[in-house]
Amino acid sequence: MDTNIKKMLEERNNRIINAIIKKAENICPGSIALIGVAGSFHSGDIHEKSDLDLCIVINDDRARQIASCFILGDVAFDIYCTPWNRLEEMSEYKNPYVTKLLELDIVYCSDAKYMQRYKDLSSKVANKLNQVYSIEDNEKADEFVDKAFKEYANAMLSSEYGECRYTTADMIFYIEFAIYMYNKSYIKKGVKRIPEEISRLKHLPLSFSELYWKVIKAETMEEIKASATMLMKAVKEFVKQMKGRVDTKKEISEADIKGTYEEIYSNWKNKMYHAVDEDNAYLSLMTAASCQGFYDEMYDEYNIDRIDLMRNIKANNLKMSARAFDDAMEEYKKYYDKLNAEVRWYIDLDEFERNYLG
């Protein structure tokens, strides 16, 4: 950038900042804690039309009187206030927008205690970013993936181009958040630099950049949906990989598995065969799905193989579905045998009473 233009922009910024300080001193003295320059003027990524992004930290609501949104020449400015509780929330690192705690040039501070308070919050979030990736970090990132899948579903159900384009933009937004969080990173230089920043992160879905840009550049609704599907499939696999980094599965013991085979029998087995007798495809499907949920919970918690019951559930062959259910039970029972766990199976009530009461 031309030196004279840069100097002119800096003078403009200084006058705006000085005007804010002067107005605060006149109408709400003591309400402003500090002012910092963020965004492009902090990073140096400026152009002739760059506006001034300020973080004005306030002590009370009186300071909101200094807020203003205006157009100066052909550049718009938004002078807004940030209460301390917003920075405190930011310090918890719940999303990657923690920039104003880590990328800020402080240009005004009304009292040294406010600078210390700001530094403490900055250190707090920096410490969180420097800690080893944990299950809590993974869960935070997963929340954004869940939101991305919701927007993906909305896009797939869209019949209007505008709606489809809008929901996929939201999908991309949440995917970006998730990837920053999976990498324990944050947005450093604003929206326009996000694609560039993400491309340099260590942990990314397979072929991420290619798939990401296909969604962004897709022209027709069909192209948007197809490219969004490919991207979400890659993200889904990536989520599994990232969970593997913090997998805390336990080795299953006899005490852990005891009674679970019997539980499967009690809750679902006879329903599967009742569905056959009644020719009830709904009962067969929902019973199997409920049991699959149980198998998945065990798989998530313990170091065992995943049992995929649903792959053999057929709406047009309920007998085959019932047999598949039995096969899955036997596959699960292997862990009983391996752990020398006995199935509590009584021939009659007399045997039950002897064992249960004795």
How much is the pLDDT for 150?
98
Give CA–CA dist 231/224, Å, rounded. 11
Instruction: Say if residue 17's pLDDT is above 90.
Output: yes
pLDDT, tens only, 199-231: 999 999 999 999 999 999 999 999 999 999 999
pLDDT, tens only, 178-197: 999 999 999 998 888 999 99
pLDDT band at 1 (very low <50, low <70, confident <90, very high): low
Q: Are the C-beta atoms of 341 and 260 separated by less than 8 Å?
A: no
- Contacts for 230-233 with beta carbons within 8 Å, 24 or more apart? 231/175, 231/205, 232/148, 232/149, 232/152, 232/171
User: Which residues, 6 or more positions from 68, have their beta carbon under 8 angstroms from its beta carbon?
Assistant: 77, 79
How much is the pLDDT for 246?
86
How much is the pLDDT for 122?
97
Residue found under tokens 């942990």: 203
Percent residues over pLDDT 70 in the chain = 100
User: Which residues, 6 or more positions from 242, have their beta carbon under 8 angstroms from its beta carbon?
Assistant: 138, 141, 182, 203
How much is the pLDDT for 244?
86
Instruction: Say if residue 3's pLDDT is above 90.
Output: no
pLDDT, tens only, 290-341: 999 999 999 989 999 999 999 999 999 999 999 999 999 999 999 999 999 9
Instruction: Say if residue 75's pLDDT is above 80.
Output: yes
How are strands ordered across the β-sheet holding 105-109?
Answer: 81-83, 53-58, 32-38, 105-109
Mean of per-residue pLDDT scores for the chain? 95
How much is the pLDDT for 47?
87
Instruction: Say if residue 46's pLDDT is above 90.
Output: no
Single pTM value for the model: 0.84
Strands 68-72 and 105-109 come out as unpaired
pLDDT band at 241 (very low <50, low <70, confident <90, very high): very high
How much is the pLDDT for 256?
95
